[in-house]
Amino acid sequence: MIPITRLAIGEEEAAAALAVIRSGWLTQGERVREFEERVATYVGAAHAIATSNCTTALHLSLIAAGVGPGDEVICPSFSFIATANSIVHAGATPVFVDIDPRTYNIDPALVEAAITPRTRAIMPVDQIGLGADIPAVLEIARRHGLRVVEDAAPSIGATVGESRLGSLSDFTCFSFHPRKSITTGEGGVITTNDDAAAERLRSIRSHGASVSDLARYQSGSTDLEEYRELGYNYRMTDIQGAIGIVQMRRLDEVLAARRHLALRYNELLADDERIETPFEPADRPHTFQSYCVRLRSTRPRQDLMNDLAARGIATRRGVMAIHLEPYYRSRYPQLSLPETERATAETLLLPLYVGMTEAEQDEVVRALQAHLGERLSD
Ligand SMILES: Cc1ncc(COP(=O)(O)O)c(C=O)c1O
């Protein structure tokens, strides 16, 4: 079986998790703090705040951005459902705009037309490892007095120009779910350069407490903490933090291995007119959290996926169109986003993981091409 992904995780992570279990301190503590420091340093942000997952990171960031009931947040529909759900969790309304069909990321040219007096924030998504045009989104946001909460869930390590994602927007949120390039099992991180917002985020991820358990324990103080505003239990455990520290050390190596495999797929598929390989803008190298092709064939994608599965090769649809999922369709019955709808119907993720062999890659390409049948150019 060639799976869609395999974890790049091993004995070092297991030992780090075991050390936490033996330490007697399991939830958010020193290991989470060290993980946060590593992420902040890596992306070039002043602060990193770890959370239970990226959905909760997005929810907290929206609150810190001042988003609440009655507000609108502009976002793409071509994303995982959590992008829009986090906006609904904050009591606001997602306003979906279409994507650039080459990058699969929000089309900044469409953002401005979607701004209304109720717009409070923009949530661009850095989809499947490729940074969105964040400078263009920030420019629009600054001109209209809006905040930018960037959903970089799949894209740790990606850059835009000279900058790493995580250093540019008001708030950037990363996921460490096992489908991402590196993982903590479940986990999220918010990065920001806003000192006051960072302090508030640290408090509301833990019920709004004025002092963290770790700080109280380390100070030896018997003073009681206060709860000044509504908060949540969105904490990460130290077991996850310890795994994350090791995974952060591996990140560059993991991204290099993924890139090597992706470029090899590009070469193998280069002159096949039935398969469009991923686009990379000149200033935004792809980190290939997923390897996503667009099928230029009239054969149904589902038949292809079934055929590959029968040959022991896992694939996935590219990315969902959130506005077509029943919960959102019932709220946006008339909404049409042509590029998003085309992209969700035509894209396919191929297996890609650290340790994938050239023979496995060749097998995927052979099976894909065999199913698609004779080439037009043959
Ligand atoms: C674009 C996007 N946003 C948000 C999320 C949610 O991340 P998490 O599973 O860590 O909550 C994901 C996860 O797949 C994602 O791909």
Lowest mean pLDDT among 291-295, 340-344, 368-372: 368-372
Taking all residues of the chain, what is their mean pLDDT, rounded to a whole number?
A: 96
Residue 298: pLDDT over 90 = no
Nearest to 360 by CA among 294, 311, 317, 302: 311
Assess whether the C-beta atom of 82 lies below 6 angstroms from ligand 1: yes
- Please give the order of strands across the beta sheet that includes 119-122: 47-51, 188-192, 171-175, 147-151, 119-122, 72-76, 93-97
The answer to whether the CB of 27 falls within 8 A of the CB of 237 is yes
Question: What is the distance in A from the centroid of ligand 1 to the CA of 229?
Answer: 26
Nearest to 49 by CA among 37, 31, 65: 37
Q: Which two tokens stand for residue 228?
A: 């000044």
At 228-253, the pLDDT tens digits run 999 999 999 999 999 999 999 999 99
State the alpha helices, DSSP H only, in the chain. Answer: 11-23, 30-43, 54-64, 82-89, 108-111, 134-144, 195-204, 213-219, 238-268, 301-310, 326-329, 338-346, 358-372
At 211-220, the pLDDT tens digits run 998 998 899 9
Domains and CATH numbers, the chain: 11-248 (3.40.640.10), 251-372 (3.90.1150.10)
Assess whether the C-beta atom of 182 lies below 6 angstroms from ligand 1: no
The answer to whether the CB of 327 falls within 8 A of the CB of 198 is no
Residue 378: pLDDT over 70 = no
Instruction: Using the atom order of ligand 1, give the atom closest to the CA of residue 55.
Output: 11
Question: What is the distance in A from the centroid of ligand 1 to the CA of 218?
Answer: 34
Assess whether the C-beta atom of 54 lies below 6 angstroms from ligand 1: yes
Assess whether the C-beta atom of 278 lies below 6 angstroms from ligand 1: no
Angle between helices 30-43 and 238-268 (to 10 degrees): 30
The number of angstroms, rounded, from the C-alpha of 140 to the middle of its chain's C-alpha atoms is: 22
At 8-22, the pLDDT tens digits run 999 999 999 999 999
Residue 376: pLDDT over 70 = no
Question: What is the distance in A from the centroid of ligand 1 to the CA of 42?
Answer: 20
Strand duo 119-122 + 147-151: pairing: parallel
Lowest mean pLDDT among 219-223, 287-291, 340-344, 364-368: 219-223
